[in-house]
Amino acid sequence: MTPISRYLRCCDRELHMMEWGAADKPAVILWHGLARTSRDFDDLAMVLAEEYYVIAPDTIGRGLSQWSPLPAQEYCLDFYARLANDLVDQLNIPTMRWVGTSMGGAIGTVAAANVLKNRITHLVLNDNGPQLADAAIQRIRSYAGSPASFSNVTEFEQYLRQIYAPYGWLSDVQWRRMAESSVRRLPDGRITPHYDPQMVMQFTEHDNDYLRWNEYDSLSCKTLVLRGEHSDLLLEDVAQAMTERGPKAHLFTVAGCGHAPALNVPEQIELVRNFLK
């Protein structure tokens, strides 16, 4: 199935999205992680599009979406949730299922508790929870806030293979797709990651933006938590508490992965697909 690339103006910012499947089917929103793009979901979206209308946006400051002119104000979960609300309203989606990796899961949690309350029926939190490990956040900030540059795409792909090794197994084709969909060229001709480095202002201007127990505890939608077996971001005790509080999520540990499972292999795809049913 061939997806459609679309652009919509949401909250006065242009958002890019990949659209899969027929718009008259039940909707699924796929939202990527902090320094990633919508293209991470190509493999999952292709399968889900057999049964669903699948929308995978690029967050502002990432991929092909606009960079924020107000980074200190807009690079935060509350604004991302407002963008999501505007997006689904423009697409005339009354209710939806939501699959979010890392930051995308946090956006789903905040949206389900506020602007999309009672409209998200199923929530998949892929290695994300209402409390994250500080050490892992610092690790992510260390590479996301000061992106390196490279002579060519091949060097960049090797870099991605190193920092995203915790994703688990990816084929050579998937690694190359990640590189080609995650790259922009600098004025001097070198290669660097796609995103606005100022997106890390989320951590400097919005204290505890990822501490969201109040929102999580208010949820009533069906919730699945996927935790990478070796995740340093979603710790075991937090994941276990998520099964006992709020929506009392189902918890599944994904073997052979850290932060975060790539949702790119049949076993992981079927796990998500079966839950969404």
pLDDT (average), residues 240-253: 98
pLDDT at 147 over 80: yes
pLDDT tens digits, 188-215: 999 999 999 999 999 999 989 999 999 9
pLDDT of residue 200: 94
From residue 19, give the alpha-carbon distance in Å to each of 1, 98, 129: 11, 14, 27
Compute the chain's Rg from CA coordinates: 17
Residue 144 is predicted with a pLDDT of 78
Average pLDDT over residues 62-75: 98
SS (H, E, C) the chain: CCCEEEEEEECCEEEEEEEECCCCCCEEEEECCCCCCHHHHHHHHHHHCCCCEEEEECCCCCCCCCCCCCHHHHCCHHHHHHHHHHHHHHCCCCCEEEEEECHHHHHHHHHHHCCCCCCEEEEEEECCCCCCCHHHHHHHHHHHCCCCCECCHHHHHHHHHHHCHHHCCCCHHHHHHHHHCCEEECCCCCEEECCCHHHHHHHHHCCCCCCCHHHHHHCCCEEEEEEECCCCCCCHHHHHHHCCCCCCCEEEEECCCCCCCCCCCHHHHHHHHHHHC
Mean pLDDT score, 97-110: 98
How high is the pLDDT of residue 175?
A: 98
pLDDT band at 71; cut points 50, 70, 90:
very high
Confidence band (pLDDT; 50, 70, 90) for 18? very high
Q: What is the pLDDT of residues 32-53, one digit of tens each?
A: 999 999 999 999 999 999 999 9
Answer yes or no: is pLDDT of 152 > 80: yes
Give the separation between CA 173 and CA 158, rounded to whole angstroms.
13
Closest CA to 103 of 231, 230, 202, 224: 202
Q: Over the stretch 112-140, which tens digit does the pLDDT of each residue have?
A: 999 999 999 999 999 999 999 998 888 88
Q: What is the pLDDT of residue 230?
A: 97
pLDDT at 107: 98
**Where exactly are the structural domains of the chain?**
4-276
- 4-276 architecture in CATH? 3-Layer(aba) Sandwich (3.40)
Is residue 231's pLDDT more than 80?
Answer: yes
Please report where in the chains the tokens 């189902």 appear, as a residue.
250
Q: Distance of CA 207 to CAs 125, 225, 255, 272, Å? A: 22, 24, 32, 32
User: Residue 145's pLDDT is what?
Assistant: 80
pLDDT band at 256 (very low <50, low <70, confident <90, very high): very high
pLDDT in the model for residue 142: 77
pLDDT for the residue numbered 99: 99
Judge whether residue 1 has pLDDT over 80: no
Average pLDDT, rounded, for the chain: 97
